[in-house]
Structure 1
């Protein structure tokens, strides 16, 4: 199949997407972090007044655990119900599946929870975000495992 036939096929089937690159995704993620930190400040500040934030649960504090739950739920629920987080909305991005089907819980658990957990726990794994800059469809490792892409919203 020639290149022109492939482009025509993509346009005819409606599958042509413009993939979001590293910097657009980076800025969207920074906006999301600002939003999550603000949410954590609003939701978790009462713990500081009642002394519950200093209570240790093994290696972590109650506020640390609650903050992590807010962080992962924000990315998981926003992406599941809207296909994008507020940061992605600001920059006109959305998450799609490779086969164009609706996002499934299993896709998002891999992408938004397991993928982000691995990146955050093992700091050196953050270097794998650079895959977005060098892969053809601008995918990070978490996108590859979940068969998702980040595209510009039309």
Structure 2
């Protein structure tokens, strides 16, 4: 075997990942929601004692805005600094880039913030999560646009 063939074979072997399927990602996401809900309960409980608990800012409440900020910060910061959220840690999952480089802020901005906002505004788009169950590399539409994968963490 030539040296080039050995190098190519070694690269192929080291870049192989086991992709996380729909149900593993679903349960990790539910765990994350419980964690975020708990964090919001702890951080936002003082608002219950201020002005009857709900201060309005236009159509929204202060606690609604703050809880949304906590949700986005949790997913973005945990994924940026650890490559996974606590829910993904529990289930042994990790978010990686397609090219194996470290996750960039631009990847996370789309993957975690813009996608969640779009999916919340257009609720029917949540059906796109089902693409994870049917694509070869178990990618959601948001993973395809962000060039990310969710893999089993070894």
TM-score, normalising length from structure 1?
A: 0.92
Between stretches 60-69 and 44-53, larger displacement belongs to 44-53
Aligned CA distance change for structure 1 residues 52 and 122 (closer, same or farther; 3 Å):
farther
Aligned-partner Cα distance in 1 for 2:37–2:124: 22
Shift of 1:109: 0.4
Match of 2:12 in 1: 10
Aligned CA distance change for structure 1 residues 143 and 52 (closer, same or farther; 3 Å):
farther
Aligned-partner Cα distance in 1 for 2:11–2:96: 19
* Structure 1 consecutive aligned stretches of length 4 or more whose deviation exceeds 6 Å: 5-8
Q: Which runs of 5+ in 1 are unaligned?
A: none
Match of 2:92 in 1: 92
Shift of 1:58: 1.1
Aligned-partner Cα distance in 1 for 2:110–2:9: 31
Match of 1:102 in 2: 102
Aligned CA distance change for structure 1 residues 52 and 62 (closer, same or farther; 3 Å):
farther
Pairwise CA RMSD = 1.6
Question: 1:78 and 2:78 equivalent?
Answer: yes
Aligned pairs, how many?
148
Secondary structure (helix, strand or coil) at the match of 2:35 reads helix
Aligned CA distance change for structure 1 residues 80 and 9 (closer, same or farther; 3 Å):
closer
Aligned-partner Cα distance in 1 for 2:68–2:47: 15
Aligned-partner Cα distance in 2 for 1:55–1:143: 37
Aligned-partner Cα distance in 2 for 1:117–1:152: 26
Q: Which runs of 5+ in 2 are unaligned?
A: 1-5
Question: 1:122 and 2:116 equivalent?
Answer: no
Max Rg structure: 2
Question: 1:26 and 2:26 equivalent?
Answer: yes
Between stretches 37-46 and 117-126, larger displacement belongs to 117-126
Secondary structure (helix, strand or coil) at the match of 2:12 reads helix
Shift of 1:51: 2.3
